[in-house]
Amino acid sequence: MNSLQSNSINRQVTLAARPNGEPKPSDFKLVETAIPTISQGQVLLRTVYLSLDPYMRGRMSDAESYADPVAINGVMVGGSVCRVEQTLNDNFKQGDWVVAFGGWQDYCVSDGVDLLKLPEQLAQKSYALGILGMPGLTAYMGLMDIGQPKEGETVVVAAATGAVGSLVGQIAKLNGCHVVGIAGGAEKCDYAVNQLGFDACVDHKSAGLNDALKQACPNGIDVYFENVGGAVFDAVLPLLNTKARVPLCGLISQYNATSLPDGPDRMGALMGRLLVKRIKMQGFIVFDDYGHRYSEFSDAMSNWLQQGQIKYKEHLVQGIENSADAFIGLLKGENFGKLVVQVGSENLAG
């Protein structure tokens, strides 16, 4: 628990500078401002849990992307689980739990339109940022709608113990697939196999990734859920079967890159491979493409959770002042499970 959240000051983490390569602590700044006041129709939200996710690296850059960048000195964006502290909106009462896109700060104001009320039966409120939230929907839709795994097929996912990867692999297992994870380090690989039930997990930090992956996929790869890129994709590409599907969810290995890698230029070779093997590669952005199917996902995932068919691990960091370091570590794979910052107490302030 973080004792520093108060009812008089709004702490915010702002973007101090656009990172050049890996973000540094000095690219962020912790500032204190007044708690905003609300007008008719609005609610004041207090952040309890803040989600940290790789896509945020993209928002720190001003390269063209699917969403506007965070402005310099602007508050870092992010999904959060909040409680309603004050309300001038009839749809919300004090104490309500909501999912918001509140950003890295103690307090924010909303007109209620973009808020999602948490189901009362949700015991672990932070799950709304993970298994039952954006990462869960990402895993479910990317795998099921684009990947379309069939029983007996081989599904490979990297960042296998991360928020998205761990769910992709488990959902694929529930669909009868041979599931191979890729993760960094023996501990994570052990967890993927022995706790999550993957058929195998290859350690990308040990030598011989290509050979190890080939051995773990004796029948090639039918679905590769891409959230990493780089050397991992290099190992995957030659193993992709005819008519393989590659949902493109993220490329975390590239997010800190400041220039293109040295040649030769393999862009045309990738296209040649997609052509000859009749592979489908498709990018998606989960809320834009699949937000309307949230309830379908939520029903399936809640059911699996209740039945104990899916396991989920959180990596909880205490205190908004530790957000920047935690995020920098996330991009290096230092987290183990879904990274969430506890910004404030679950109890109502007062």
- The Cα 83–Cα 49 span in angstroms is 10
Q: Are 318 and 2 in contact (CB under 8 A)?
A: yes
Is residue 68 close enough to count as binding a copy of itself by CB under 8 A? no
Sole window of 26-34, 81-89, 197-205, 264-272 interacting with a copy of itself (rule: CB under 8 A): 264-272
Identify the residue among 282, 309, 322, 345 touching a copy of itself (CB under 8 A): 282
Q: Which is nearer to a copy of itself, 128 or 249 (CB)?
A: 249
Helix and strand totals (H; E) in the chain: 10, 15
| Encoded tokens for 30 | 């912790």
The gap from C-alpha 17 to its chain's centroid, in whole angstroms, comes to 23
Q: Are 137 and 294 in contact (CB under 8 A)?
A: yes
Sole window of 191-199, 277-285, 310-318, 334-342 interacting with a copy of itself (rule: CB under 8 A): 277-285
**Nearest distance from residue 250's CB to a copy of itself, in Å?**
7
Burial-class residue 114 by CB neighbours within 10 Å (0-12, 13-18, 19+): exposed
Identify the residue among 30, 284, 300, 322 touching a copy of itself (CB under 8 A): 284
Q: Which is nearer to a copy of itself, 65 or 124 (CB)?
A: 65
* E-strand stretches of 238-347: 240-248, 280-283, 314-318, 338-342
**Nearest distance from residue 288's CB to a copy of itself, in Å?**
7
- The Cα 129–Cα 322 span in angstroms is 18
Q: Could you identify the residue written with the tokens 């890996």? A: 22
**Nearest distance from residue 57's CB to a copy of itself, in Å?**
12
Q: Following DSSP, what letter does each residue of 130-143 receive, concatenated?
A: TTTSHHHHHHHHII
| Encoded tokens for 143 | 């795998």
Identify the residue among 283, 319, 329, 337 touching a copy of itself (CB under 8 A): 283
Which positions from 223 to 262 touch a copy of itself by CB under 8 A, shown as an x/- string? ---x--xx--x--------x-----xxxx--x--x-xxxx
Residues making contact with a copy of itself (CB under 8 A): 58, 64-66, 226, 229-230, 233, 242, 248-251, 254, 257, 259-272, 274-285, 288-289
